Amino acid sequence: MHRTILITGATSGIGRACAIKFAGDNDRLILTGRRADRLNELAESLQKEFGVEVLSLNFDVRDKEAVKRHLGGLQGKWASIDILINNAGLAAGFDSIQEGSTDDWDQMIDTNVKGLLYVSRMIAPLMIKQGRGHIINVGSIAGKMVYPKGGVYCATKFAVDAITQSMRVDLLADGIKVSQVCPGAVETEFSVVRYKGNKEKADGVYKGFQPLTAEDIAGSIYWIAGLPAHVNINDLVVMPVAQASPAYFNKKL
Ligand code: NDP
Ligand code: 8X3
Residue 183 in contact with ligand 1 by CB distance below 6 A: yes
| Per-residue pLDDT at 104 | 98
Whether residue 90 has pLDDT greater than 70: yes
| Per-residue pLDDT at 147 | 98
Average of per-residue pLDDT across 45-54: 98
Residue 108 in contact with ligand 2 by CB distance below 6 A: no
Atom of ligand 1 nearest to the CA of 8: 21
pLDDT band with cut points at 50, 70 and 90 for residue 82: very high
| Per-residue pLDDT at 46 | 98
Average of per-residue pLDDT across 95-112: 98
Residue 185 in contact with ligand 2 by CB distance below 6 A: yes
Question: How close is the Cα of 180 to the center of ligand 2, in Å?
Answer: 15
Ligand closest to Cα of 187 equals: 1
Cβ count near 42 (within 10 Å): 24
| Per-residue pLDDT at 1 | 59
* % of the chain residues with pLDDT over 90: 99
Q: Return the ∠ at Cα 46 (arms to 41 and 48), rounded to 5°.
A: 95
For residue 126, give the 3-state DSSP assignment: helix
Write out pLDDT tens, residues 161-216. Answer: 999 999 999 999 999 999 999 999 999 999 999 999 999 999 999 999 999 999 99
Provide the residue ranges of all domains of the chain, joining segments of one domain with +: 4-238
Whether residue 127 has pLDDT greater than 70: yes
Please state the CATH superfamily assignment of the domain spanning residues 4-238 in this structure.
NAD(P)-binding Rossmann-like Domain (3.40.50.720)
Query: For ligand 2, atom 6, which residue shows the shortest CA distance?
Result: 142
pTM of the model: 0.99
Task: Name the helix (H) or strand (E) containing 135.
Answer: strand 134-138
| Per-residue pLDDT at 237 | 98
- In angstroms, the Cα distances linking 232 to 4, 109, 130, 175 are 19, 28, 19, 11
| Per-residue pLDDT at 227 | 98
Write out pLDDT tens, residues 143-152. Answer: 999 999 999 9
Whether residue 113 has pLDDT greater than 80: yes
Whether residue 88 has pLDDT greater than 90: yes
Please identify every residue annotated as catalytic.
153
Whether residue 114 has pLDDT greater than 70: yes
Dihedral sign for Cα 22, 26, 32, 33, please: positive
Question: How close is the Cα of 173 to the center of ligand 1, in Å?
Answer: 31
Atom of ligand 2 nearest to the CA of 184: 2
Residue 31: which of 11, 3, 14, 2 has the closest Cα?
11
* % of the chain residues with pLDDT over 70: 100
pLDDT band with cut points at 50, 70 and 90 for residue 230: very high
Ligand closest to Cα of 186 equals: 1
Residue 142 in contact with ligand 2 by CB distance below 6 A: yes
Atom of ligand 1 nearest to the CA of 91: 34
